[in-house]
């Protein structure tokens, strides 16, 4: 299940209902003490209520109500649930989805009590017609009585099947968005919630102000998440063990009980052997991981920056493990201010790690920051701006909010920029930088885009905040633009024509080959991956582009159950194949000199 949004009401500074939407990578930005951490802690309370626990003081101090509401919306929920072995069901058939067919779960915490209690609801577009509004709360005999009263098929078996037949027999169900209680013991409503609860993502919160002394929580928290993940993947084996222990324990208990009868039957009649298996939390507590660094030095004796960089290693290891795993368990990593105690170079490493991990289909990353250096490297679509208007806290995202973010964080354009190089995405930037560096070694007059600050890349298919700011400000300065797009989308030609028809010196073109990866030399891929593939100029005979051909070869070489996606293949090629390109390789693959012409055009615009 993927987290789509969080809505909080009456929780700390968020008095009125406030909603924030999430992507695979989401970054919450704002000033200090504006409410960024509150969002992550609301999620922690919703999923775990452990690292941060709901407290009687968490209700908004200006509100007369003591009820705190935390609501999460999910996509990619399970397609089928088994609450009755004779008739499986699903959330749609049970009318437990929103109008948008998402799963919305609301938890209400009563902070008027010393220890707040919680009630759980599914907020759904559900039947409200009196005679059929409470079917999820009815027992089998009660549903059978309705079936009989409506003269429906008396042979229908299973509560889900009977509910469906009853609902289908009604002309107007009067569907409305209502809150359906599921936490109290009310027949199938309770059973469905127990099923849903097992599919909820693992939520791991890493706080910026946690203790970094002897207990070394900064490392233990992600390691605990690793243990929780491992346990979830061997749950079947654990259940088998519990079953065997239960059978053996009950056998011993029964024998003891029978022996006791021989001694004193009156005493034996007061005993009833019952087996109480360990809860998941107790299983987690059985295991721990200790990490020692070089020379056996305990990690908690190293600097805080080193300790926090362990998070990167954990994230990378987890991402690689998930590539080879068939587990469907989702994980949400929430990290407060990852830039804490980090050198700028390490911050960039962190950002790239977060981006990479967020590309895994089973992971979501949520960050908070007020660092301009970190924020400027993040995709603009991932940014959420928290600010205070005259009355309430608000959360905003989209293009209109970026000037506010830039102003708040102090992100400014680079005044050295003279030319804007407009491309589709970040892998194009890495590829073109490698190609320009290779060509510069042979033709020194051509720019090396890895070091030439006069050229700024603008990512037209989803930029970072830094690039967006540069584009926004430099446009007004009249900087010339060179647009280069892949030849795999027909509509791009229209955009190139518009650029070439401008009155200024801006210009653009499509690649003659299908895409930037089509210019790779097979020796560069062999050097990077020890994988040999044929690289077509357009599509291969069986209709595949270079990234797909590489993805299949890579997945086969490393024995991956599921082939990597094309987007990931592009990233691998950009990082480990393009840097191996030489001018000679480029010219062998590009006999007409197209690549050299791109950098000659950049030189022309710089002059």
Res. 319: pLDDT tops 50: no
Res. 54: pLDDT tops 70: yes
Please check whether residue 291 is in contact with residue 299, taking contact to mean a CB–CB distance below 8 angstroms: yes
Res. 299: pLDDT tops 70: no
Answer whether residue 594 is part of any domain. yes
CA dihedral over 590, 591, 594, 599, signed as positive or negative: positive
Res. 224: pLDDT tops 90: no
Res. 86: pLDDT tops 90: no
Which residues face 114 on adjacent strands? Answer: none
Res. 345: pLDDT tops 80: no
Answer whether residue 282 is part of any domain. no
Closest by CA position to 127, among listed 118, 116, 136: 136
Write down the pLDDT at residue 404: 74
pLDDT in tens, 23-52: 989 999 888 778 889 999 999 999 999 889
Answer whether residue 352 is part of any domain. no
Degrees (nearest 5) of the Cα angle 230, 330, 11? 115
Degrees (nearest 5) of the Cα angle 63, 68, 73? 130
Res. 290: pLDDT tops 70: no
Q: Is 203 exposed, middle or buried (0-12, 13-18, 19+ CB in 10 A)?
A: buried
Write down the pLDDT at residue 539: 94
Overall number of domains in the chain: 2
Residues 6+ apart with CB under 8 A from 320: none
Res. 205: pLDDT tops 50: yes
Half-sphere exposure of 13 (CA within 13 A, CB side): 17
Please check whether residue 404 is in contact with residue 468, taking contact to mean a CB–CB distance below 8 angstroms: no
Of 91-100, 235-244, 324-333, 580-589, the range with the lowest mean pLDDT is 324-333
Write down the pLDDT at residue 313: 65
Write down the pLDDT at residue 219: 47
Closest by CA position to 336, among listed 36, 83, 600: 36
Answer whether residue 361 is part of any domain. no
State how far the Cα of 109 lies from the Cα of 54, in Å rounded to an integer. Answer: 8
The confidence band for 326, taking pLDDT boundaries of 50, 70 and 90, is very low
- Between residues 345 and 493, the one the model is more confident about: 493
Answer whether residue 367 is part of any domain. no
Closest by CA position to 20, among listed 38, 6, 31, 30: 6
Res. 497: pLDDT tops 80: yes
Res. 477: pLDDT tops 90: no
Quick one: what percent of the chain has pLDDT higher than 70?
78
- Between residues 107 and 282, the one the model is more confident about: 107
Res. 91: pLDDT tops 90: yes
Of 1-15, 260-274, 371-385, 516-530, the range with the lowest mean pLDDT is 260-274
- Give the helix ranges, DSSP H, for 66-109: none
Write down the pLDDT at residue 242: 78
Q: How far is CA 135 from the centre of its chain?
A: 35
Q: Provide DSSP, 203-270.
A: EEEE-TT---STT-HHHHHHHHHHHHHHHHHTHHHHHHHHHHHHHHHHHHHHHHHHHHHHH-HHHHTT
Please check whether residue 346 is in contact with residue 305, taking contact to mean a CB–CB distance below 8 angstroms: yes
Indicate the residue among 156, 173, 200 that finishes a domain: 200
Tell me the mean pLDDT in the region 214-237. 63
pLDDT in tens, 555-576: 999 888 777 888 889 989 999 9
Q: Provide DSSP, 309-372.
A: HHHHHHHHHHHHHHHT------EEEEEE-TTTT--HHHHHHHHHHHHHHHTSTTEEEEEEE--H
Residues 6+ apart with CB under 8 A from 300: 212, 213, 214, 215, 216, 219, 307
State how far the Cα of 187 lies from the Cα of 86, in Å rounded to an integer. Answer: 16
The confidence band for 473, taking pLDDT boundaries of 50, 70 and 90, is very low
76-80, 340-344, 436-440, 470-474, range with greatest mean pLDDT: 436-440
Write down the pLDDT at residue 355: 78
Res. 420: pLDDT tops 50: yes
CA dihedral over 334, 340, 341, 345, signed as positive or negative: positive
Quick one: what percent of the chain has pLDDT higher than 90?
41
Structural domain containing residue 497:
419-606
Write down the pLDDT at residue 144: 92
Answer whether residue 40 is part of any domain. yes
The confidence band for 411, taking pLDDT boundaries of 50, 70 and 90, is low
Res. 328: pLDDT tops 50: no
Answer whether residue 229 is part of any domain. no
Write down the pLDDT at residue 167: 95
Tell me the mean pLDDT in the region 325-350. 70
Tell me the mean pLDDT in the region 182-210. 80
Tell me the mean pLDDT in the region 43-65. 93
- Between residues 284 and 417, the one the model is more confident about: 417
Indicate the residue among 168, 200, 232 that finishes a domain: 200
- Between residues 583 and 300, the one the model is more confident about: 583
State how far the Cα of 339 lies from the Cα of 223, in Å rounded to an integer. Answer: 20
The confidence band for 502, taking pLDDT boundaries of 50, 70 and 90, is confident
Res. 213: pLDDT tops 60: no
SS3 161: helix
Res. 416: pLDDT tops 50: yes
Answer whether residue 226 is part of any domain. no
Write down the pLDDT at residue 304: 58
DSSP state letter for 379:
B
Write down the pLDDT at residue 585: 97
Write down the pLDDT at residue 203: 85
Write down the pLDDT at residue 314: 63
State how far the Cα of 167 lies from the Cα of 184, in Å rounded to an integer. Answer: 23
Mean pLDDT taken over the chain: 82
Please check whether residue 275 is in contact with residue 247, taking contact to mean a CB–CB distance below 8 angstroms: no
Indicate the residue among 183, 200, 217 that finishes a domain: 200
């Amino acid at each position: 299940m993927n987290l789509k949004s969080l809505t909080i009401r009456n929780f700390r500074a968020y008095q009125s209902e406030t909603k924030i939407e999430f992507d695979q990578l989401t970054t919450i930005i704002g000033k200090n003490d504006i409410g960024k951490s509150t969002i992550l802690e609301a999620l922690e309370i919703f999923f775990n209520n452990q690292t941060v626990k709901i407290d009687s003081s968490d209700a908004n101090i200006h509100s007369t109500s003591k009820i705190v509401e935390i609501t999460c919306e999910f996509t990619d929920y399970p397609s089928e649930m088994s609450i009755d072995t004779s008739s499986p069901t699903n959330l749609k058939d049970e009318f437990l989805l929103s109008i948008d067919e998402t799963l919305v779960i609301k938890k209400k915490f009563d902070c008027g009590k010393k220890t707040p209690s919680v009630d759980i609801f599914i907020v759904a577009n559900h039947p409200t017609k009196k005679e059929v509004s409470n079917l999820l709360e009815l027992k089998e005999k009660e549903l059978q009585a309705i079936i009989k009263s409506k003269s429906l098929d008396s042979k229908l078996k299973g509560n889900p099947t009977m509910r469906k037949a009853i609902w289908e027999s009604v002309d107007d169900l009067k569907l409305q968005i209502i809150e359906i209680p599921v936490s109290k013991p009310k027949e199938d409503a309770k059973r469905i919630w127990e099923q849903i609860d097992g599919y909820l993502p693992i939520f791991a919160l890493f706080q910026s102000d946690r203790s970094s002394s002897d207990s070394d929580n900064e490392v233990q928290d992600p390691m605990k998440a690793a243990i929780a993940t491992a346990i979830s993947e061997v749950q079947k084996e654990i259940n088998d063990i519990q079953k065997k222990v239960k059978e053996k324990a009950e056998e011993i208990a029964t024998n003891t009980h029978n022996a006791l009868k021989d001694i004193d039957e009156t005493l034996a009649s007061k005993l009833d052997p019952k087996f109480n298996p360990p809860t998941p939390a107790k299983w987690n507590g059985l295991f721990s991981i200790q990490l020692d660094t070089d020379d056996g030095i305990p990690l908690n004796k190293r600097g805080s920056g080193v300790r926090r960089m362990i998070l990167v290693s954990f994230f990378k290891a987890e991402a690689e493990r998930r590539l080879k795993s068939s587990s469907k368990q989702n994980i949400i990593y929430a990290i407060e201010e990852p830039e804490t105690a980090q050198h700028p170079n390490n911050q960039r490493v962190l950002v790239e790690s977060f981006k990479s991990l967020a590309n895994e289909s089973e992971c979501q990353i949520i960050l908070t920051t007020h660092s301009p250096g970190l924020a400027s490297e993040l995709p603009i679509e991932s940014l959420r701006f928290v600010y205070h208007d005259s009355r309430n806290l608000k959360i905003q995202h989209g293009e209109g909010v970026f000037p506010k973010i830039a102003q708040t964080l102090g992100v400014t354009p680079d005044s050295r920029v003279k030319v804007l190089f407009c491309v589709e995405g970040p892998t194009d930037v890495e590829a073109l930088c490698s190609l320009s560096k290779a060509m510069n070694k042979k033709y020194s007059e051509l720019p090396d885009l890895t070091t030439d600050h006069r050229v700024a890349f603008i990512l037209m298919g989803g930029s970072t905040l830094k690039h967006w700011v540069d584009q926004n400000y430099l446009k007004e300065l009249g900087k010339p633009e060179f647009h280069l797009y892949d030849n795999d989308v027909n509509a791009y030609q229209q955009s190139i024509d518009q650029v070439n028809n401008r009155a200024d010196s801006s210009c653009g073109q499509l690649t003659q080959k299908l895409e930037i990866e089509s210019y790779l030399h097979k020796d560069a891929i062999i050097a990077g991956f020890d994988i040999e593939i044929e690289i077509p100029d357009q599509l291969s005979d069986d209709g595949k582009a270079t990234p797909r051909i590489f993805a299949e070869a890579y997945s086969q070489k490393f024995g991956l159950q599921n082939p990597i996606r094309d987007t990931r293949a592009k990233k691998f090629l950009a990082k480990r194949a393009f840097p191996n390109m030489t001018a000679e390789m480029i010219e062998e693959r590009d006999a007409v000199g197209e690549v050299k012409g791109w950098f000659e055009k950049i030189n022309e615009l710089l002059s």
